[in-house]
Structure 1
């Protein structure tokens, strides 16, 4: 099996989160057990993309700025993927969210006074993936994410993807909630993706999840996306769907369960865009 849409920071083991939190004395809003942690971070009923993403601020501080922890979660992910029958996967993540040298909303308001840079995050991740590949026989690569609302990081993502291909970086992405109009991307990230295409860097874009079909069209036509993360709502524009999905064969990375939990699609399968695509 191959898994192409996998968020590294959304794949951390519950036990690992609890272990690291205990060692670092980080409060997980009172959660001390796996069941208590799941109640905090797992979405069980259809909600919104912003609600799903909000959970990351609870547990991600346990690994932020910690190269040993980052290497550990990468290694453990390889083990978990092997147990799940996955032969090849691409783990996407924001190296800026995992470093501690830039301020961001996952820092819990703490100033950026650390020493682990985004480049060093990639090094740590690669060490973990290398060990995991050797131990469990899986093949792992990584995708670097730009994040909507953090325009200052975009150019660095482009440069990291350009210079760190030998570290298993195979593509760039843009993720996160849209700020303002759902169907718009910051011009800075559009330019980064256009330059990435010129440099031969592969491109996947989160689109058509909380935004509409127009968002997917922008990702493909302006940002030169080769794959679309989610893209469910492209089918709502029959002409655009025919052009991009059928004629051009743009790859749609579908996530059936998550699509319902983020409120992107209806639970009713006959009306679900993924079901319509399959039919």
Structure 2
């Protein structure tokens, strides 16, 4: 990627996205965790334990290049993205649960993301080439959490502005991610086709598995349909921009960012198709029941 795009544009892009997340958060979102511990625990277990294991199985089965394999596991370790809330709203999920999960998972990722990524780096013997050191981890999450805190402060001081800014910031976030994806693929030059051929199927399957696991595991343990939908999108719609930032700015290797870029391109249409499957096939009567309960 162009140096100006990576060193200036990428941190600004991530800052805008995380500021948008902050605009949707209140302190009560963190307190809500105590009121719904089972839903939060199940979703986080899927996110932090099941997905990395599934992802490792996929990269092993596809025999990915070590740099791409590390990129996939970095993606698996990344928390849910801000678009998860939008998909949950569109497809009758528990949006409040989404917001709580995103908030909590973003904090937990301070420890879990470097742990999983460094384990992957060590497994593939890349210690001499790339590393995710504690100082760099701190730098990343200053970039991540500071805009979130600013967004929360703006919402607290001016809720009307936060509400008006929500949609433009979400649109800007999607546009920013698209620009980053195109920039990364362009920067890989002649290797772009090979990378896409290697990682495209793995990224697609990982997205599908994430969405499916995120729905069916909560349902199997007795969570409500709305909670399961929220969990599905929270687990299936990763913060690809964060993964790209870590790969490019911290690990200093564009190849590691390719899986997140490909995933970022695929997850929006795949999540939309999954939402239709949820509402039309798996939970066709849920929307009517909820509407009836509101009018009764």
Name the TM tier (shorter chain): under 0.3
More strand by share: 1
* TM-score of the pair, normalised by structure 2: 0.26
* TM-score of the pair, normalised by structure 1: 0.27
Higher relative contact order (CA 8 A, sep 6+): 2
